[in-house]
Structure 1
Amino acid sequence: MTGIPPVAGRPGRPRRRPDALLEDKSYDSNPNREELRKHRTLPVISRKGTPNIKGLGKLRYVVEQTFALLHQFKRLAVRWERRTELHNAFVSLACGLICWRRLKKHRS
């Protein structure tokens, strides 16, 4: 939690942590929930063996769609780089290409 950059938003002093964290059922454990609450972050996690939280799928879809778009780039789907700064550079480049393609598609 300490490695999270400031959250952009309203004017003033930027927040250092998110209000809530959306997780899937694989993160459903009491230690995970307690750690988030200790950092004053609301855990939004469906319990294992219960139906999903209503509306959580719409929010998770954005995350899953982003991963799908990034995995179109083979170099990101299978990580070849050992150095994190190189991998982060390729992720940034891929995000820029995805945005450029989307803007180009909407203009035509």
Structure 2
Amino acid sequence: MPLSVGISGANVHDSQALVPLVQGIPPVRSHRGPRRRRPAELHADKGYDYAHLRRWLSARGIRHWIARKGMDSSQRLGRHRWVVERTISWLAGCRRLHRRYERKPEHFLAFTSIACTLICLRRLTS
């Protein structure tokens, strides 16, 4: 299920969106103990292989598996990447999001948030 959603321009590198997305994750209720305010682990591809991102994640106690440029193969993340690809395909099923009709980014973000809410509702009711 999508925990946090954000939009950016097509000319913005993916690594610049990591910090706001992780900070935007709301507290998640668990069965025992206090609410979790951060994810336990993060899987990312080679686009996020930067030392400052690794340090930022480690400082917050988030275990990370980020493929290293020139060293790791892209095949290792395939078993975790399908979750992201599946969620993107669910969002692509929303006709309004398939092609961006809104001029203001706030409106497009609102429709994306509504679509994520519908995805969560469908997952919880099935």
TM-score of the two chains, using structure 1 as the length reference = 0.71
Q: Name the structure 1 match of 2:110.
A: 85
Aligned to 2:79: 58
CA–CA separation in structure 1 for the residues paired with 2:123 and 2:63: 30
Structure 2 unaligned residues grouped into runs of 5+ = 1-21
In 2: Cα distance, 1:53 partner to 1:20 partner? 19
Q: After TM superposition, give the deviation of residue 59 of structure 1 in Å.
A: 1.4
Q: Quick one: which of 48, 56, 60 aligns to 1:35?
A: 56
Compute the displacement of 1:99 (Å): 4.7
CA RMSD of aligned residues (A): 2.6
| Contact preservation (8 Å) 1:22, 1:44 | yes
Q: How many corresponding residue pairs?
A: 99
TM-score, normalising length: structure 2: 0.63
The structure with higher relative contact order (CA 8 Å, sep 6+) is: 2
Give the distance between the partners of 1:26 and 1:39, measured in 2 at CA.
20
In the alignment, which of 10, 19, 26 is matched to residue 40 of structure 2? 19
Q: Distance in 2 between matches of 1:97 and 1:16?
A: 21
For the residue of structure 1 that corresponds to 2:64, the secondary structure is strand
C-alpha contact (below 8 Å) 1:7/1:18 kept by paired residues: no
1:34–1:11 CA distance, 2 compared to 1 (3 A): same
Task: Please list every run of at least 4 consecutive aligned residues from structure 1 whose deviation after the TM superposition is greater than 2 angstroms.
Answer: 7-10, 77-87, 90-93, 96-100
- Share of identical aligned residues, percent? 35
Question: Which letter maps to 1:66?
Answer: T
- Cα distance in 1 for partners of 2:60, 2:46 equals 20
